[in-house]
Structure 1
Amino acid sequence: MLTSTSLRPRCQPRLALGLATLVAAAACLLLPGRAHAAPPATGVYCTTDAALAPTFTLNATDGYIQLPDGNVMYMWGYAGASGAFQHPGPVLCVNQGDTVTVVLNNSLPDPVSIMFPGMSNVQVNGAPAQPQFDTNGTLTSLTNTAAPLGGSVSYTFVADKPGTYLYESGTMPQKQVRMGLFGALVVRPSAAADQLNERTDSKFMSDEEFMVLLSEIDPYQHQAAEFGTPFNLNTYQARYWLINGRGFPDSISDNLAPMLPDQPYGALARITPYGAPDHPYPGAIRYLNVGSEEFPFHPHGNNGLVVGRDGRPVAGAGGQDLSFEKFAINIGPGQTWDVLFKWYDAEGYDPVNNPVPVTVPQVNNQEFGIFYSGSPYLGQTGTLPPGASTLNECGEYYIISHNHALYQITSWGVNLTGPITYVRVDKSKAGCP
């Protein structure tokens, strides 16, 4: 385990196994908030610049994040313009055709940089980006760097291809990316911001756009960086896996949850049934993998339609639609996948006209989950027995989504943590009464 100097207390009970994990965490868990808030309580939370040539300032700095097993981890990160540490870096959202400038200020003890995979002709301080070498000709960085403890560098590129991208350090990525120097870049099509790419068949509900950014941590590497001691990369072994910079159950708290001041992005997907008059298009999930191995992520209850990978539409040379359905989204290291998904109220169960065709057992023969409303019907609640507690607000459904490499949904051996979230299905966009 880490030494006590790198562990700090938090308002989070140490989690037990099985269902007790979720029950014990409820005392510190914020209920999922409603959509349409500004900033949004759920879904992609963008950092934007409305200028035709948007400029973003990122500050390479350090800080700490909270983990589900009670540990607190030292991290590096790209902070926003305020300079306040956050993990992961801001979600930068721009429009196709924008000339984007990113100014990097470095307060870390190492030279750092930013690469923009998928972007071409990146300029650095007005000249083409170049790999860096030391005096012996050894490669030290894949792109130009900002000097330690106060250096700055400016990157400029044209965001010409809509899609989902990573941005990450190109300097010793085996250390710096793993320490937290990464974030998501979203390029929206110039024709329609509610499409994943230029194809009209990638259209989605603008209020159902979500991000799944998967990462990992070897705590011993982070401990070495914190105390300035050597770390043997040959011994690297991830022991934590995160979704949007959080582990479960923190992952289903809202964006900007007060109990997670340095981990701004939640992963709860809040939707309504597809096919209603106010829901003619699917939802969208932007998957990104900044880890060192493939992550098979699966939302239970539906397949996803893969319409883009690595910022490019899944299409033939002649524009043929080559999109395909996947049960689990197997995102490789450094990859991004753009996926559409739908949740149908297929049976349309109703207690009067179309009741569930089973005999519900007596209360003393039932086990009540923490998200159960007391009724099997969407949008309805029922009576729970004395002593039963619930986080359900108004009869919504909760459908789990998680990494199917089950050893990765742990936090240093604590089960049912890591990259887990839920799809919350509300009966209507009006939400709860």
Structure 2
Amino acid sequence: MHNATIKKELLLAPLVGVALLLTPMAYAAAPGITGPAFNLTAQQAYLNQPDGEAVYSWGYGCSGTPAGFAPTITGQICPTMQVPGPTLIVTEGASVTVQLTNNLPTAAGNTSILFPGFNVTATGGVTGLLTQEAAPGGTVTYTFTASAPGTHPYYSGTQGDLQIEMGLYGAVIVLPASVPANCNTGYHAQNLIAEGAHGEADFRLAHAAYDHPGSCYDREYLFQWAEMDSRIHHQAEAQVAATVASGVCATAGNPACSLTVQTEPYHPAYFLINGRSMPDLMDPNFASEYPHQPYNANPHMHPGELTLVRTIGQGRWQHPFHEHANHVRILSRDGNLILSSSTTPISYNTPGGTAASGPGLAGVLMFNTDTTPGESFDGIFYFTGRGLNWDPYGHHPGDTADPLASLTCTPDANGYNSSVPTAINFMEWCQDHNKPVQVAPFGDVPGGGPVTLPDPNVFTNGQWYGGTPYLGPDASLRASMKTCVGNPYGTANPANATCTTLNPANTQLNPANERGWAFMWHSHNEREITTNNVFPGGMLMMMLVDSREFQIDESN
């Protein structure tokens, strides 16, 4: 059987899986299967890339019926092969059992799974260098206690330079056994009211990342970084095809039934987040065009939410990833909270909520969240628009034609509008309320402008202004015409109005159903934001910060 025939059979093979269990609380932005018992298989398939390439790969998938699934997406399945592998979601203290069946090509040999950070007991299979391994067609069972909350990797412990590169990796999310009381009160409770008022569900796996009052969050995402050298994959594909065609693997123990893939020198051409590259990673979870890459990397949030960023380095390289709009406060590394050495407890309170105290968190604020191979971290990203020196919701005081003019901003003790969670401008920074950018769309803050601009002499391409800043529900309307102080819609332009063109006519406007900022999140290694050396691609996504009236649907 030649190479093309193998590829055709793999691509046309039915996806064997199970229907999702309709559990109403199973929504999450970190989709996966819930345990504590898991049945996984290792298989071959092809991964679709933005340049049209279908890259031969290996990956873990579901074998049998998983106990649960998150999020609950009607009609979706857990594939028998996916990259990354299924995210295993368990609770702290649970006894976790993972049975692995080796359905890789016989020439690939044995395979296994390592679970770093856990004390694992392996039974069955054959003895390998690092753990018990499943021989071709065989099984091995791993058992461990989910002793540490947080985000953890799992990956092959057999010939890792080849098998991890081919796609045999995934994530374990351990939810804390108990959630601190302050995570269910105060602002976090207000945030749930705000989401519910605009038709959203609660998409969190838990209300806290750890058993710590400083680890509360309001939204979450899981990102797994990896890279791919297609030469290695093509060699593996060709050698598998050759063993099939020659029949050398028909006899057990034949030394010729093996692979001799050269994994060095290493020159990756694809840079992946959750198995996809830009722009594919912005498509929905479980999009049909990526049958073996079900997880996307398309984060959304509302202003003021605490967004938990779960990250794992699954490849060979370190990736300097930069989240525009704010630093990320690191909570933990490899499931270990970074705590202060001080013995003085710190009070963690939220507006109007229950105070709790505990040791201080000492994780740094990172401009680049460097992702190290085999290492995971959990961090918090936060954005409100505070200190912009203009009103991001586009209020116009005294303008009765403006639907936003009547919105008020009553500062709480921290300066935010937190008293009415159903308001569009919930968690607005009140100091900038009613400061329209149209008054001075350019210039330094001391002169009334919206930002402190760099010296125009050092601008590469000259001064430019690229798009609307507004989060409000009439953002597209404002972006498409001249807006005037005292007359934002431009239906009539009084002589004394001050007008500014906010957006050129040929610039694409926001979609009719979405309002907000799009902040680029990307690798600071420029090669890694390409796909096969073509920009844009690779490790690049957009964090979309949407106004409250826009429903963020994490069920897809």
TM-score per shorter chain, which class?
0.7 to 0.9
Corresponding residue to 2:29 among 43, 48, 57 = 43
Contact 2:307 2:382 in 1 (8 A): yes
Asked if 1:209 corresponds to 2:220, the answer is: yes
Name which one, 1 or 2, has greater alpha-carbon Rg. Answer: 2
Contact 2:118 2:146 in 1 (8 A): yes
Runs of 5+ unmatched residues, structure 2: 9-22, 65-78, 180-205, 240-258, 344-358, 398-434, 443-461, 481-503
**Alpha-carbon separation, structure 1, partners of 2:380 and 2:370:** 15
Asked if 1:417 corresponds to 2:430, the answer is: no
Asked if 1:111 corresponds to 2:100, the answer is: no
* Residue equivalent to 2:432: none
Which has the larger displacement, 97-106 or 343-352? Answer: 343-352
Asked if 1:154 corresponds to 2:126, the answer is: no
**Alpha-carbon separation, structure 2, partners of 1:78 and 1:188:** 22
Contact 2:391 2:436 in 1 (8 A): no
Structure with bigger RCO (C-alpha 8 Å, 6+ apart)? 1
Distance 1:160 1:96, change over 3 A: same
Contact 2:471 2:547 in 1 (8 A): no
* Residue equivalent to 1:96: 92
Contact 1:196 1:308 in 2 (8 A): no
Runs of 5+ unmatched residues, structure 1: 9-35, 133-140
Normalised TM-score (structure 1): 0.79
Corresponding residue to 1:144 among 132, 140, 158 = 132
Asked if 1:341 corresponds to 2:381, the answer is: yes
- Please state whether the residue corresponding to 1:308 is helix, strand or coil: strand
Offset of residue 80 of structure 1? 1.5
Distance 1:130 1:313, change over 3 A: farther
Corresponding residue to 2:440 among 358, 371, 378 = 358
- 1:215 counterpart letter in structure 2: A
Contact 2:126 2:133 in 1 (8 A): no
* Residue equivalent to 1:124: 122
Percent identical residues: 31
Q: What is the aligned residue count?
A: 371
**Alpha-carbon separation, structure 2, partners of 1:368 and 1:431:** 28
* Residue equivalent to 1:283: 307
Offset of residue 430 of structure 1? 5.1
Corresponding residue to 2:236 among 225, 242, 249 = 225
Give the structure with the higher percent helix. Answer: 2
Which has the larger displacement, 297-306 or 379-388? Answer: 379-388
Distance 1:191 1:359, change over 3 A: closer
**Alpha-carbon separation, structure 1, partners of 2:29 and 2:5:** 35
Corresponding residue to 2:265 among 230, 235, 241 = 235
- Please state whether the residue corresponding to 1:200 is helix, strand or coil: coil
- Please state whether the residue corresponding to 1:87 is helix, strand or coil: coil
Contact 2:476 2:510 in 1 (8 A): no
**Alpha-carbon separation, structure 2, partners of 1:296 and 1:130:** 38
Normalised TM-score (structure 2): 0.62
- Please state whether the residue corresponding to 1:234 is helix, strand or coil: coil
**Alpha-carbon separation, structure 2, partners of 1:341 and 1:130:** 44
Offset of residue 297 of structure 1? 0.8
**Alpha-carbon separation, structure 2, partners of 1:401 and 1:162:** 26
Corresponding residue to 1:297 among 312, 318, 321 = 321
Contact 2:60 2:82 in 1 (8 A): yes
- 2:302 counterpart letter in structure 1: T
**Alpha-carbon separation, structure 2, partners of 1:341 and 1:391:** 24
* Residue equivalent to 2:356: none
Q: CA RMSD in A?
A: 2.9
Q: Deviations over 1:348-388 (max 9, x none)?
A: 3324132114348xxxx99897xx6x664444222647765
